[in-house]
């Protein structure tokens, strides 16, 4: 870039800018095109700078505010400003190293903030480098934060923390689901018991109504029989039918029941009293 060219004419390519010196001192900038020089008067083309956008990939290792070492990878797009091409030519020996030196100042941020605010970090870095490199004739066009790479042990710890949080959340959801399941199961069981009770009550009511109708029909058709005698007869028949059913049952179950005429009479008294109480309750309701 500092080589001199002792020729009478030179051509500056498109998207480039030439630096013209006279006797080793900057004289002017040469736009793209053909230029004539007078070497005898000490005038020559000292160098040519490209004004195209260049890309610089930067990877540096730094430490965050919470003392975590990370590697930061970014892509910087920059170019030489035509009106300050002489500053870019003379002020910086190696512009890439200078840009890289001013890239990041992230110790002011925690690691989590660094991940969450990648765009804000790139914007802040862009503003910072623009102020510095602008004095040397360079324009920073864009900065893209490519990647943030913490230390392997830190990545492992972050994954374990994330996995533990997800397991904890899954346990909460599982507990809520089991709670809902138990509540629904209890509600279903209560509803089943209620409906079972209603069914038993209706069954007993139907048996009671049937016995009452049988007793009344028998008393009217057979003269000289009282309701008590008909009830005793029905009870004895039911008693022996029950014993028969127990004997024919295939289940190996032993059932102890009182046996004898006196017990049959007691059962009949209980049923008869129940019928009378049911009839009395019905009359009171009406």
Mean pLDDT, all residues of the chain: 77
Question: Is residue 89 in some structural domain?
Answer: yes
pLDDT, residue 226, reads 66
Does residue 219 form part of some domain? Answer: no
Instruction: Give SS3 for 148.
Output: strand
Residue 109 placed within a domain: yes
pLDDT band at 1 (very low <50, low <70, confident <90, very high): very low
CATH number at residue 121: 3.30.479.30
Decide if 210 contacts 198 (C-beta within 8 A). no
- Which region among 185-189, 230-234, 241-245, 261-265 has the lowest average model confidence (pLDDT)? 261-265
Q: Which residue has the tokens 């051509």?
A: 11
Give the structural domain span for 252.
Answer: 226-285
In the chain the beta strands, taken as DSSP E runs, fall at 9-12, 16-22, 25-30, 33-36, 43-50, 54-63, 69-80, 138-150
Higher pLDDT, 271 or 199: 199
Q: What are phi and psi of 45, to 5 degrees?
A: -90, 110
Euclidean distance between CA atoms 208 and 217, whole angstroms: 14
Indicate the residue among 117, 135, 150 that finishes a domain. 150
Decide if 64 contacts 116 (C-beta within 8 A): no
What's the distance, CA 51 to chain centroid? 48
Q: Which residue has the higher pLDDT, 183 or 271?
A: 183
What is the model's pLDDT at position 277?
Answer: 60
37, 10 Cβ separation under 8 angstroms: yes
* Number of domains comprising the chain: 3
Do the domain assignments include residue 201? no
281, pLDDT greater than 60: no
pLDDT tens-digit profile of 114-171? 777 777 778 878 888 888 888 888 988 888 888 888 877 777 777 788 788 888 888 8
Residues 35 and 66 in one domain: no
Per-residue confidence (pLDDT) for residue 3, from 0 to 100 = 47
Q: Is residue 243 part of a domain?
A: yes
Does residue 202 lie in a domain region?
Answer: no
Give yes or no: residues 102 and 15 share one domain: no
Helix, coil or strand: residue 275: helix
Look at residue 227 in the predicted model and tell me its pLDDT. 64
DSSP string, 66-127: TS-EEEEEEEEEEEE-GGGHHHHHHT-S-HHHHHHHTS---TTS-HHHHHHTHHHHHHHHHH
Q: What is the pLDDT of residues 197-237, one digit of tens each?
A: 888 788 777 777 776 777 677 666 666 666 666 666 667 67
Q: Name which of 14-18, 66-70, 130-134 the model is least confident about.
A: 66-70
- The answer to whether residue 187 scores a pLDDT higher than 60 is yes
Confidence check: pLDDT of 246 > 50: yes
**Is residue 78 domain-resident?**
yes
Would you state the pLDDT for residue 262? 58
Residue 92 lies in a domain: yes
């Amino acid at each position: 870039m500092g080589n001199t060219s002792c020729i009478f004419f030179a051509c500056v390519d498109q998207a480039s800018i030439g630096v013209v010196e006279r006797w080793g001192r900057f004289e002017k900038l040469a736009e793209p095109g053909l230029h004539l020089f007078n070497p005898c008067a000490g005038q020559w083309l000292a160098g040519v700078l490209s004004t195209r956008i260049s890309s610089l990939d930067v990877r540096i290792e730094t430490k965050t505010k919470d003392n975590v070492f990370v590697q930061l990878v970014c892509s910087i797009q920059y170019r030489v400003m035509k009106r300050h091409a002489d500053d870019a030519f003379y002020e910086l020996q190696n512009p890439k190293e200078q840009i890289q030196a001013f890239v990041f100042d992230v110790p002011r941020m925690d690691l989590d903030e660094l991940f969450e605010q990648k765009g804000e970090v790139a914007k802040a870095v862009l503003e910072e480098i623009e102020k510095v490199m602008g004095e040397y004739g360079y324009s920073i066009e864009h900065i893209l934060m490519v990647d943030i790479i913490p230390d392997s042990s830190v990545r492992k710890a972050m994954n374990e923390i994330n996995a533990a949080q997800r397991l904890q959340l899954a346990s909460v959801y599982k507990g809520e689901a089991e709670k809902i399941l138990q509540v629904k199961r209890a509600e279903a069981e209560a509803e089943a018991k209620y409906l079972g009770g209603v069914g038993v009550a209706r069954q007993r009511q139907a048996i009671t109504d049937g016995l009452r109708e049988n007793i009344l029909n028998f008393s009217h058709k057979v003269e000289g029989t009282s309701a008590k005698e008909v009830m005793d007869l029905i009870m004895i028949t039911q008693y022996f039918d029950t014993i028969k059913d127990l004997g024919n049952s295939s289940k190996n179950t032993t059932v102890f029941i009182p046996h004898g005429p006196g017990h049959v009479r007691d059962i009949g008294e209980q049923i008869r009293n129940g019928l009378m109480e049911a009839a009395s309750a019905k009359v009171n309701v009406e």
